Chain A
Amino acid sequence: MMSLLDVQGLTVNFSTKEGIHYVLKNVDFNINKGEIVGLIGESGSGKSTLAMTILDINSRSREMSGNISFSGEKIDNIKKEKMRQLRGKRIGFVPQSSMNALNPLVKIKSQFFESIKAHTNMSREEMLSLTTRSLEMVGITPSRMNSCPYEFSGGQRQRIMIALSMLLSPELIIADEPTTALDATVQLKIIELLKNVVQQKQTSMLVISHDLHTISKICDRIYIMYAGRIVETGTRDEILNNPVHPYTQKLLASRLPLMCEPVRVKGISGTPPSTLKKYEVCEFMERCDRVSEICRTVRPPECTGSMKVACHLGCNLECHPE
């Protein structure tokens, strides 16, 4: 099966006053049709940069190499105008803190019409019925489309944002931290909503988050990102039940249990690596407690092709099962 989005060997650097930030390092990544893919990593690991690079909305002082193709077409280095036609129509985007992404002083209806007008030549009636349908889909009463965003709660605004990104039935939706900054109960509703919307509209979705536990409920496949590199990939069950990379294991272990007896959970000690530094060996070495001799000298394998874990440990397990 041909994949809808295929990213190969993507490397992105940003040059700033402080020096060169190495943000993405040789990222291989693909999304198949109808699939929900999760991209998990801590803040600063480059998840949002990956999303923005796919959409080409971070081109200032960026150097990139590698290939991005969307349903067979190469979309890196295409003309700005062509990219504009792609965004919104074929790739939908739910930005981070999407609660603030709506213009607070413009009616919901006008904001929906604006993005319809940008891509199609619909009549007013058609636009109205499309807006009504997409608001209904996310459980917002269509009669409220004449309200301004500030009249809605955070969770409602998030749902409006999802409706807006789905409006023209794009083939791919990129949702950047769709549940962060929402209440626990609302988070669950948004997650369910995303899943339903994907099933109804038969699209693919990329969900970006730092919260492995919340997001993993809806993902078919998961990529774990650390310091700009994909460190582990696999199906949902593989990642949740049989994580190999020490970072994935620690992420899973840092879940807060709901127990009545006091227990201690260990977080991940140490600080996230700096993007300014170029690492010759494994980026996770400083925070890993299973460092062996080989880690100090040899770079771990890249998570590309059939390789599923970027760690010497995983390699050993696969090559010499004990």
Chain B
Amino acid sequence: MDDFWLIKIDNVSKVFKGRGMFRNEPEVKALDNVSLTVKKGEVLGIIGESGSGKTTLGKLILGLLKPTSGNISFADINNNSTENRKPLVQVIFQDPYDSLSHMMTVEQLVAEPCIINNGKNVDRNRIIRALESVGLTPVESFLRKYPHTLSGGQRQRVAIARAMISEPDMIIADEPISMLDASIGVDILNLMLDMKERTGITFLFITHDIAAAAYISDNIAVMKEGKIVEYGSRKQIISDCCHEYTKSLLLSATGAGTENEYFCSEF
């Protein structure tokens, strides 16, 4: 499988310098010698509590931040053309209430990435197809709506359509369901699984919820204090994890023993 890597992260560290008013704030080591390989077509889940550096990792891959040391390399992709290209990476942010501009209609929001990439002329059918693929039907009734008239789940679907329209090779989903109701979050996860099956897109799924990560990911990396403390397939992480921290996460997801029968009955 090693030939099919998409992104390789080699010994990456990220230090945020204290740049306070009095120049005496301590440095924060957000990432500490992290190495990780994202394989093509997988869903890689990254779990960790707040402050463990999982969002920083996502931002480094997106190029929104520069690593202090180490390398992030992207594979060459050759799609029946003579020229190789680098993978396109898109992002879905945590909060669908803040990540969509209030002043733009759904049509403008979804068209925006196309306009930035390909210039003014956007194929309207492409927008309609993107909205259809995320389940916002009938599309005509959504095109002219503004985000504030949509529910949280619908907004997150718009955010996904926006990420999908430029046909990226990889999507970084940073806590896409943490702001949504449990029942709606499941629908969003199912949508992501459908997309993966249909288009073979690679997902980097960042979350603090081990149940959500286990539901959708093929492989899982557990982060704590800027380090990856455990990495393995879904099965390894859930059924025989070694690290104490992973165990405590699993325990909190299963309800500290009260509903353990749920959990045990599967193995």
Contact = CB atoms under 8 A, between A and B. Distances in A.
A285 interface: no
A171 B205 CA distance: 43
B178 A181 contact: yes
Given A43-B181, A184-B208, A184-B210, A258 B186 contact: no
Contacts of A258: 210-211, 214, 238, 250, 253-254, 262-263, 266
Interface in A180-214: 181, 183-188, 210-213
B187 A269 contact: yes
B68 interface: no
A256 B215 contact: yes
B258 interface: yes
A43 B211 contact: no
A268 B184 CA distance: 7
Interface in A82-121: none
Contacts of A211: 181-182
Nearest to B238: A260
A261 B266 contact: yes
B183 interface: yes
B105 interface: no
A255 B215 contact: no
A317 interface: no
Given A183-B50, A264-B190, A271-B151, A259 B252 contact: no
A103 B151 CA distance: 29
Interface in B30-59: 49-51
B190 A267 contact: yes
A260 B182 contact: no
* Interface residue SS majority, chain A: loop
Among B49, B51, B152, which residue has the most Cβ atoms of chain A within 10 A?
B49
Nearest to B255: A217
B239 interface: yes
Contacts of B122: none
Contacts of B187: 267-269
Given A184-B252, A258-B210, A260-B238, A154 B258 contact: no
B263 A188 contact: no
* Interface residue SS majority, chain B: helix
Contact of A154 (B50, B152, B249, B256): B50
Nearest to A254: B183
B267 interface: yes
Contacts of A266: 186, 190
Contacts of A319: none
Contacts, number: 100
A302 interface: no
Contacts of B154: 271
Interface string B201-231: 0000000111110110000000000000000
Contacts of B50: 153-154, 183
A265 interface: yes
B185 interface: yes
Given A185-B248, A258-B254, A271-B151, A42 B238 contact: no
B186 A256 contact: yes
A267 B253 contact: no
Interface string B43-81: 000000111000000000000000000000000000000
Interface in B169-185: 178-179, 181-185
Contacts of B258: 217
A42 B181 contact: yes
Interface in B228-261: 234-235, 238-239, 248-250, 252-256, 258
A280 B266 CA distance: 44
A257 B247 CA distance: 16
B181 A210 contact: yes
Contacts of A272: 151
B253 A254 contact: no
B234 A184 contact: no
Contacts of B153: 271
Smallest CB-CB A-B distances: 9 pairs: A267-B186, A267-B187, A260-B235, A256-B211, A254-B183, A268-B183, A210-B181, A183-B49, A188-B252
Interface of A: 42-44, 153-154, 181, 183-188, 210-213, 217, 250-251, 254-261, 263-269, 271-272
Given A184-B210, A257-B266, 18 more contacts: A43-B151, A44-B151, A183-B50, A184-B252, A185-B248, A188-B255, A213-B182, A213-B255, A250-B183, A251-B182, A254-B186, A258-B250, A258-B263, A259-B266, A260-B266, A267-B184, A269-B187, A271-B154
21 contacts: A43-B152, A181-B179, A184-B209, A184-B252, A188-B255, A210-B182, A211-B182, A213-B255, A250-B183, A251-B182, A254-B183, A256-B211, A256-B214, A257-B215, A257-B262, A258-B253, A258-B263, A260-B267, A269-B187, A271-B153, A272-B151
